[in-house]
Structure 1
Amino acid sequence: MIAETMCSAASAAGLGIAAVTAYRKRFLAAARIAAYSLVPIGLVLTGVVEWVAGIAFEPSVWVGFVLLGAAWLLFVTTRAVERRRGLTREERKAARRGGENDRIAPAASAPRPAATGQRPGARPGAKPGETGKAEPGDDFSDIEAILKKHGL
């Protein structure tokens, strides 16, 4: 009863504001305000407000919401654990079939520096004796070239 009265009052106030807006020759805004203000009274007349008010104070409804939240939390948690393990969907299917040896490690497909004959600290394309560290004078040579190119 109270919810229906409040919705009716909100609709009446909104229609009053729409009338004032139309009086100020802002017809598009007035039509939009009138449309918004008719929604609460429409919900009252269709019975939606009574239905929402009926379920809002039911303890069983709130228990249902809590159970839905717990289910969602379990879904999210299990998905996060699967992602941390790094298993893809195909790998999980292979594991279920018993083909655990068919699993391809993600790092196995990438070439390792040892396989290319380079040390781990070496730059790609560097000579075998060179390391990845730059000389003290070479640190800003690229930046200086860019600044000179732009005239700075």
Structure 2
Amino acid sequence: MSPDTALLPLCVALAILGLLATVVFWRSRRAARGRILQGAALTLTPVALYLTGLLRMVWDAVVALVGWAGRLAFSPGVWVGFALLAVAVVLWVVGGLLVRRSHLRSGTAAAEGRDRAPAVGRGAAPAAAQAGGRRPAQGRGAQGGGAQGKQGQGQQEDPEMAEIEALLKSRGIE
């Protein structure tokens, strides 16, 4: 069956139905003028698609898609291809997660280095010495809880907290 024998009558039927619906809306005055014009535009669309050849292209695409789907259901080779495609997608996503994780780790290390270097330059060690004779913490041990450090369990204090405490004590605030 040729696509033209099915498409031309279909386009004419759709155009006639659209024209009838547009006339009914126009006579009942239920729709706004803009909606009536939009109905007329939709009425002309199937015929315009047929005359430009775009409807034939869509028809061919649908026929090709249906043929591909028919081959898909009965071909083990196609299913193996889908399985490989799924594995490739999973590998791509996991690789992206690993890259993001490594960037976060390297960004955190760089941020810790930036935070630590200016604190020493501002005189955090003397401030810590004034605050209680303790040296500012170095490395990951500095991230201990503030409540545990105040309880005297021997954990080192955060250099920024030591500096803040020193400033408060220098102003007479405890």
Which amino acid is the alignment partner of residue 128 of structure 1?
G
Change (3 A) 1:14 1:127: same
Structure 1 residue matching 2:17: 3-state secondary structure:
helix
| 1:7 match | 11
- The CA deviation at 1:41 is 1.2
Q: Deviations over 1:45-93 (max 9, x none)?
A: 111122222343247x838xx89x96986775454132121259xx8xx
1:22 aligns with 2:26: yes
Q: Deviations over 1:80-121 (max 9, x none)?
A: 132121259xx8xxxxxxxxxxxx72442243986375353x
Query: TM-score with structure 2 length normalisation?
Result: 0.46
Check whether the contact 1:21–1:27 (CA below 8 A) recurs between aligned residues.
no
Check whether the contact 1:4–1:49 (CA below 8 A) recurs between aligned residues.
no
How many residues are treated as equivalent by the alignment? 111
Structure 2 residue matching 1:111: 3-state secondary structure:
helix
- The CA deviation at 1:4 is 2.7
What's the RMSD between the two structures over aligned residues? 4.0
Check whether the contact 1:10–1:37 (CA below 8 A) recurs between aligned residues.
yes
Which one has a larger percent helix, Structure 1 or Structure 2?
Answer: 2
**26, 40, 54: which one aligns with 2:46:** 40
Which amino acid is the alignment partner of residue 94 of structure 2?
V
Give me the whole-angstrom Cα distance separating, in 2, the residues matched to 1:16 and 1:55: 30
Superposition pairs of residues 1-150 of structure 1, within 5 angstroms: 1-25=5-29, 26-58=32-64, 62=68, 76-86=89-99, 105-111=106-112, 115=139, 118-120=142-144, 122-123=145-146, 128-130=149-151
Unaligned runs of 5+ in 2: 73-77, 114-136, 153-174
| 2:168 match | none
Change (3 A) 1:72 1:17: farther
